[in-house]
């Protein structure tokens, strides 16, 4: 696998990415775009197993830091899924400018909360993306944040959002919170795991609370039916991204679709537990469904 550090612009902001390419010749390569998962960065070691397998199979993979994260430019105190979708769409456009990428065969891959949801959002909103793989996704941002909290905590949380809205219009300044404590509430497993230790120290330590408002309106479930071909990967009994989010996305998706449910494991442990089975399934999905040619044929009867 070869690596090329690249930059492109998303709404005027410079985005830093890594383009991972096959060692073998055979360009133009089919391309896969990935935005990192919740609070993830492009160089997280967690993604290497997937990228190695995909490049070994002849795909190019572009992963990048969203605006405000890692090595990308932009304000580092905001986390808005709609902005991340803009970054993903612009990443697709960047791939289409390259002679070594087949612009007719581009897919989306995403893993971990909004990472899994974002691959669906991209494939639903960008017709250039022919298929998607969504691993442990969020289907409904409001339900996701609600289920992290008891009912009284949820009501207090909503009240804090309302108070922040009033503060912003009166003073021009909003409250800031830690994204992992003030927005997403970490599970006991998340507090113990070191699976993201290589990037955890480089994520923004404070984001505007209004970011949570944007996540309340984040609903991949509403657009999943627009995805051309979708592989969903879930974890049974997932305490971080609810299992029924993966199941609901699968149910609402149109054919072709596939659901892989990982049992007897947990959200973070699943990456290792079933990596040797799930990774080939991801590769096979892209191999099967990224086959756009130069002819489009329609027939009746």
**Longest CA pairwise span in the chain (Å):** 65
Separation CA 32–CA 62 (nearest Å) = 6
CA dist., res. 65 & res. 87, Å (int)? 9
pLDDT (0 to 100) of residue 180:
85
Domain residue limits, the chain: 2-139+221-289
Per-residue pLDDT of the chain (301 residues; tens, 9 = 90+): 999 999 999 999 999 999 999 998 878 999 999 999 888 999 999 899 999 999 999 999 999 999 999 999 999 999 999 999 999 999 999 999 999 999 999 999 999 999 999 999 999 999 999 999 999 999 999 999 999 999 999 999 999 999 999 999 999 999 999 988 889 887 776 666 666 666 767 888 899 999 999 999 999 999 999 999 999 999 999 988 999 999 999 999 999 999 999 999 988 888 888 889 999 999 999 999 998 765 455 555 4
Tell me whether residue 187 is exposed, middle or buried, using C-beta atoms within 10 angstroms of its C-beta: 0 to 12, 13 to 18, 19 or more.
middle
Angle at CA of residue 181, ends 176 and 184, nearest 5°:
100
DSSP helix, strand, coil percent of the chain (3-state; round to 5): 40, 20, 35
CATH class of residue range 2-139+221-289: alpha beta
């Amino acid at each position: 696998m070869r690596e090329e550090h690249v930059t492109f612009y998303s709404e005027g902001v410079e985005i830093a990415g890594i383009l991972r390419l096959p060692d073998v010749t055979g360009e133009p390569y089919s391309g896969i775009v990935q935005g990192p998962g919740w609070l993830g960065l492009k160089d997280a070691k967690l993604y290497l197993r997937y990228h190695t397998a995909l490049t070994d199979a002849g795909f190019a993979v572009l992963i990048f830091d969203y605006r405000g994260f890692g090595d990308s430019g932009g304000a580092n105190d905001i986390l808005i899924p709609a902005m991340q979708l803009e970054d993903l769409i612009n990443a697709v456009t960047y791939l289409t400018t390259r002679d070594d990428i087949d612009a007719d065969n581009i897919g989306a891959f995403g893993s971990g909360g909004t990472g899994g949801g974002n691959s669906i959002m991209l494939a639903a909103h960008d017709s250039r993306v022919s298929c998607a793989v969504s691993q442990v996704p969020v289907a409904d941002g409001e339900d996701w944040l609600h289920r992290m909290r008891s009912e009284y905590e949820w009501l207090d949380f909503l009240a804090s959002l309302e108070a922040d809205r009033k503060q912003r219009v009166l003073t021009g300044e909003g409250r800031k919170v830690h994204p992992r404590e003030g927005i997403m509430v970490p599970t006991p497993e998340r507090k113990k795991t070191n699976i993201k230790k290589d990037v955890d120290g480089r994520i923004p330590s404070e984001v505007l609370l209004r970011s949570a408002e944007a996540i309340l309106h984040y609903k991949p479930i509403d657009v999943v039916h627009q995805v051309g071909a979708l592989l969903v990967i879930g974890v049974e009994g997932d305490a971080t991204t609810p299992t029924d989010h993966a199941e609901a996305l699968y149910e609402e998706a149109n054919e072709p679709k596939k659901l892989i449910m990982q049992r007897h494991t947990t959200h973070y442990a699943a990456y290792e537990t079933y990596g040797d089975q799930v990774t080939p399934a991801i590769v096979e999905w892209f191999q099967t469904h990224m086959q756009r040619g130069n002819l489009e044929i329609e027939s009746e009867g």
